[in-house]
Amino acid sequence: MVRIVPYTRQDSKNWDSFVKAHPHANLYHLSFFRSVVEKTYGHQSLYFQAVDENSQIRGILPLFFIRSLIFGKELVSLPFCDYGGILADSPEISQLLFQKAEELMRSLRCKNIELRQVSKQHFLDKKAAINTNLSIKTTKVRMFLNLPESADTLFSSFPAKLRSQIRKPQKDGCTCLNGGIELLDDFYDVFLFNMRDLGSPVHSKQIIKNMLSSYPRSSHIFVVYHSQRPVACSLVCSINDMLVNPWASFKRTYQKSAPNMLLYWEMLKFAINNGYRVFDFGRSTPNEGTYRFKAQWGASIQPLYWYRYGSNAGSSGDISAKEESFKKIWRKLPLRVTAVVGPMIRKHIHL
């Protein structure tokens, strides 16, 4: 007999043990990410677990109740990241967890439930075939690289052109540091600049700070410098034998020196030297620029399945898809304006 019960902080150890043992789990399923989102943006977490008669966890569903001024009320698993959704030991338990989400959607009067799964949920596929209120988005893929035993082996496996591109920023005087909170200001200097140039509202600096403080031994910042100025940056976090890259940015005014090539090489080298077996580049859209950039490193792809259920199931929740003109305006704003206004808007965009 399996019961669906709310998660409490006392459950964090058992929750994380279940996550780390599940083949489809990812970094964001871990309990620390709950506090990151709550502390940064104040969204209400609604985490549930399926437990058996021995109080053993058999499945989990981490949800956030997003009251967006842009998209309305939604339940999302998980916001501000690539992956989330249901983890369970059986399809039957997955269905029970989804039924709980449906109950919440009705009681909270939400428009949609969004589950960002890394594996197919066959019961939802069947439901989608007969229910127009359920859509499946498969336009994104996860990109990852299985790592060899040594950085030298990986470097030697690259084509000559890629090896030359990695060396170029070093020849131009670029250097790379990795560390923690002491690099946050330099990280955000680049991150803010890049997001403005992309026409996208920037995350609050607090989300990076909270990632570092909530998951300190497994989170690291990388910053590339040119003439002592920060020009590229990234954040990496780990789960099991995988190093995950949630965010990376560079200043396009320094594109000629290719600081992003040094940045990614340093992350890959760090992963190998610290015993990780997989590097997760995050999600991309096939054949777009970021996809091609990641593919050149030898990345493999895994389809992602984003299920949306509700009255607005066909909507992507993507501001860039709806408001192309917004991006053009945002690119023209002063950095100091985007630094203040950006996080206020970003809170309401759960991508």
pLDDT tens by residue, the chain, 351 residues: 899 999 999 999 999 999 999 999 999 999 999 999 999 999 999 999 999 999 999 999 999 999 998 889 999 999 999 999 999 999 999 999 999 999 999 999 999 999 999 999 999 999 888 888 999 999 999 999 999 999 999 999 999 999 999 999 999 999 999 999 999 999 999 999 999 999 999 999 999 999 999 999 999 999 999 999 999 999 999 999 999 999 999 999 999 999 999 999 999 999 999 999 999 999 999 999 999 999 999 999 999 999 999 976 665 555 445 678 899 999 999 999 999 999 999 999 998
Query: Quick one: 86 and 26 in the same domain?
Result: yes
Same domain, 208 and 92: no
Statement to judge: residues 118 and 235 lie in one domain? no
Q: From the centroid of its chain, how far is CA 226? A: 28
* Residue 190 near residue 148 (C-beta atoms within 8 A): no
Task: Answer yes or no: do 7 and 127 share one domain.
Answer: yes
Q: How many domains does the chain have?
A: 2
| Claim to verify: residue 151 and residue 288 sit in the same structural domain | yes
* Judgement on whether residues 60 and 106 belong to the same structural domain of the protein: yes
- Residue where the block lists tokens 């399923």: 29
Tell whether 154 and 78 lie within a shared domain: no
CATH number at residue 108: 3.40.630.30
CA pair distance 259, 56, nearest whole angstrom: 48
**Domain around 291:** 142-303
Judge if 127 and 184 occupy the same domain: no
Q: How many CB atoms lie within 10 A of CB 157?
A: 12
